[in-house]
Structure formats: structure tokens, C-alpha cells
A and B are shown apart, each in its own frame.
Chain A
Amino acid sequence: DTGVSQNPRHKITKRGQNVTFRCDPISEHNRLYWYRQTLGQGPEFLTYFQNEAQLEKSRLLSDRFSAERPKGSFSTLEIQRTEQGDSAMYLCASSRPRGSGANVLTFGAGSRLTVL
């Protein structure tokens, strides 16, 4: 169990550029979540996958945001045409299937995005 891995840890980009973050969950966890955390706030839910299916999306996830989880393993979060308001820490978490420790999220260290 190597934990939840996120890459890159830090990304600085210019407004209008596209960025992509990757998350590798704990191998036996079939559930994967993306959250966004801005300074002084708690994490806000963005989206949730069970295996490869994206089952829930927040209204925070605008058309410029897309998340995928091909083959139900790692996930990517892409932000197109970045805006300064996208600057935040993007957190990935994973959890076990329901009924066996589900609800308990294991978080990664996060990917910090700075849009100039």
C-alpha cells in the first residue's frame, strides 16, 4: 500500500493554458474522488468515480474541467483555458467499495495549481 499518489505536486501556468493532473489511487480502492481546496477553505467536492464510471459531478465542475478514469485505475483531471480563479490545491482521494470501509477517504498530497 503506497498510498494515493498525485502528480505533479506543483504546476505554474499562464492563463489560457491547459493543465492535466494525474492521480494513482490505492490499488484495491475502486472509488476515486477529486476535490478542490482554496486558501482558507475546506475541500469542495468536484467529482466521483466508481471503477471507470463517473457517477457524480459537482456544479463546480465547469465545461472547462474534465476528469477521466480509463480502466478504473488512475485518473486524470484536465483544466482547459485556465483562469486565475482556478488557482487552488486539487486533491485526489480513494476509498474501498461500499460495505468494507467505504466512506473513509485516503487523500493524496494534492496538486497545487497557480495560474498567472
Chain B
Amino acid sequence: AQTVTQSQPEMSVQEAETVTLSCTYDTSESNYYLFWYKQPPSRQMILVIRQEAYKQQNATENRFSVNFQKAAKSFSLKISDSQLGDTAMYFCAFTTHQGGSEKLVFGKGTKLTVNP
């Protein structure tokens, strides 16, 4: 079965500091796509960053970067210079397109609070 595990239900960080959210996944496929989505309180889910498994280089998007360890099936998200607007639920997700599937498998999420 394809699963995503986010072991940190809640985290907090001080404004301007750095925080890392962890994610591990399980799949037997060799090629897949990994994502971090952000869901602010009472607002819609938006894409933070994505990584293609065949690419060695870790993806970065401004203050957001990932540490992709394919052998360990680990995909952590680092948020630098945290801002109050980063307060949200963060979901790790992946898709393999196995058998033509378009299903995105999500973890249970990590609730991040940025404190002033």
C-alpha cells in the first residue's frame, strides 16, 4: 500500500527562525512526484513545493526547500525565516501514476504555528 507518514502532528516556531517538517512515504515505484501543500485556517489548500523523484537536486521555492532522500523515502520541508503567514496545516503528498492512477496520497498533516 502507498502511504505517507507525518510524525509531527503539531509544531511551533518563532518568527524569523527556521523549522523543518518531516515526511516519510512508502511506495515500490521508482518514479513518482512528491508535494508539500499548505492549508491556512479556513482557507484553501495551495501548493508549496514539488519534487520529481528522478531529479537528484532538492527543490527550492524562495524560503521553502526540501531534503529529498530517495533511499530513505524521506521528504522533509524546511521553512527559513518563518513568517506569521506561514501558520497553517502542512500536508505531504505523493503520486506514482501506478497503473494509470492519478490519485494523490496525503499524510495526516502537521499543524505549524509561527509565534511573534
Known contacts A42-B93, A104-B50, A110 near B44 by CB under 8 Å = yes
Which of B57-65, B67-75, B80-88, B100-108 lines the interface with chain A?
B100-108
* Contact across chains for B103 and A91 when beta carbons are under 8 A apart: no
| Bitwise interface map of A from 14 to 58 toward B, beta carbon under 8 Å scored 1, else 0 | 000000000000000001010100001111110010000001101
Question: How far is B35's CA from A56's CA once the two chains are assembled, in angstroms?
Answer: 21
* Count of B interface residues, CB-CB < 8 Å: 23
* Count of A interface residues, CB-CB < 8 Å: 24
Contact partners of B102 in chain A: CB under 8 A: 31, 33, 48, 55-56
* Contact across chains for A42 and B108 when beta carbons are under 8 A apart: yes
| Bitwise interface map of B from 19 to 60 toward A, beta carbon under 8 Å scored 1, else 0 | 000000000000001010100000111110010000000000
Known contacts A42-B93, A103-B50, A104-B50, A109 near B44 by CB under 8 Å = yes
Q: Which residue of A lies closest to B52 (CB)?
A: A103
| Bitwise interface map of A from 80 to 95 toward B, beta carbon under 8 Å scored 1, else 0 | 0000000000010000
Q: Does B113 sit within 8 A of A, measured CB to CB?
A: no
* Contact across chains for A56 and B101 when beta carbons are under 8 A apart: yes
* Contact across chains for A91 and B45 when beta carbons are under 8 A apart: yes
Question: How far is B4's CA from A39's CA once the two chains are assembled, in angstroms?
Answer: 17
Question: How far is B35's CA from A83's CA once the two chains are assembled, in angstroms?
Answer: 32
Q: Does A77 sit within 8 A of B, measured CB to CB?
A: no
Question: How far is B110's CA from A40's CA once the two chains are assembled, in angstroms?
Answer: 10
* Contact across chains for A108 and B109 when beta carbons are under 8 A apart: no
Q: Does A107 sit within 8 A of B, measured CB to CB?
A: yes
- Chain B interface residues toward A at CB < 8 A: 4, 33, 35, 37, 43-47, 50, 91, 93, 95, 100-109
Please give me the 6 A-B residue pairs with the lowest Cβ-Cβ distance, nearest first. A42-B106, A107-B45, A45-B103, A109-B44, A48-B102, A103-B33
- Chain A interface residues toward B at CB < 8 A: 3-4, 31, 33, 35, 40-45, 48, 55-56, 58, 91, 103-110
